Amino acid sequence: MPEGHTLHRIARDLHAAFAGRVVSVSSPQGRFAAGAALLDGHEVVEARAHGKHLFVEFAGERVLHVHLGLIGTFVIDSIAYVGERPVTGQVRCRIATGRHVADLRGPIVCAAITPDEEAAVHAKLGPDPLRDTDGGRAWERIHRSRKSIAALLMEQDVLAGIGNVYRCEVLHRHRINPMTPGERLKRASWELIWADLRRLLPLGVATGRIVTDVAEVDEIEAALAKGEDVHLDERTSSVYKRTGEECGRCGSVIRAKDVAGRTLYWCGNCQRRS
Ligand SMILES: [Zn+2]
């Protein structure tokens, strides 16, 4: 499943391609024909994301609301690069100008909504480290909960945009025991988690990949600060999908267990903090 950085990256690219432009909106597949007709021929004002939800605001109080779910994709290309691209596959929604084309496939949500309906979606979501500077609302929920911090980090109404990779890696980075109940998590531990997610997710937006390895984070931050291009080939993780391997920090065997419907990976030896 795409994590929040993917949606913010798509929002950034949609905004760059279409903001301030009158666009054509269509539903080649047909399932979004009525919604597309409401948006077609209007100017795009802004594209933005909150957690895993994407909103494209159009002039005239219309908003395109998208959630990609497990398999959805939203691919934006320059016409100069792809030409007059024929429709391939099940394109639920296509946004196009003479310069750019964006095709949405396989979303679980694709709807034309009002600003009030958008506000209702935001109200149900927790703070997003890529959008909100203050994570206090998440802490209010966490420190009153008996659920484990590993489960709480995945709940989008507690914290928006965090998926399985970031939850496993951020807990390992701070040596936090994933099974710690929210009500027993120290405030200082939460502050470390929130600050670190505020640091890590922008690297995901900039590079298109989840970057959590301690050395790699420093290296990429330095490159981005200098304005250098960053090219990453393979994903590196410290615990995610490393069951049975040695923990890079302490040498113990990395474990795996289902928590909140997804496989949690952690080191039982060096992740003992609460
Ligand atoms: Zn370890």
Cα–Cα dist 11/239, whole Å:
29
92 is catalytic: no
Q: Return the pLDDT at 233.
A: 66
94 is catalytic: no
Q: Which residues contact 178 (CB under 8 A, 6 or more apart)?
A: 148, 149, 150, 167, 168, 171, 259, 264, 266, 271
Of 258, 227, 222, nearest in space to 243 by CA: 258
Q: Return the pLDDT at 272.
A: 98
Q: Return the pLDDT at 142.
A: 98
52 is catalytic: yes
Residue with tokens 């920090």: 249
Domains and CATH numbers, the chain: 4-123 (3.20.190.10), 136-267 (1.10.8.50)
Cα–Cα dist 239/19, whole Å:
39
127 is catalytic: no
Cα–Cα dist 45/12, whole Å:
13
Residue 151 to residues 1, 207, 238, Cα–Cα distance (Å): 16, 27, 19
User: What backbone torsions phi and psi does residue 136 show, to the nearest 5 degrees?
Assistant: -55, -35
Q: Which of 12, 141, 262, 273 is catalytic?
A: 262
Q: Which of 2, 28, 127, 129 is catalytic?
A: 2
Q: With 0-12 CB in 10 A as exposed, 13-18 as middle and 19+ as buried, what is 197?
A: buried
Q: Return the pLDDT at 241.
A: 95
Q: Return the pLDDT at 153.
A: 97
Query: How far apart are the CA of 239 and the centre of ligand 1, in A?
Result: 9
User: pLDDT digit of tens for each residue in the chain (274 aa)?
Assistant: 788 999 999 999 999 999 999 999 999 999 999 999 999 999 999 999 999 999 999 999 999 999 999 899 999 998 877 666 677 789 999 999 999 999 999 999 999 999 999 999 999 999 999 999 999 999 999 999 999 999 999 999 999 999 999 999 999 999 999 999 999 999 999 999 999 999 999 999 999 889 999 888 999 999 999 988 777 767 689 999 999 999 999 999 999 999 988 999 999 999 999 9
pTM of the model: 0.92
Q: Which of 52, 62, 92, 94 is catalytic?
A: 52
Q: Return the pLDDT at 139.
A: 98
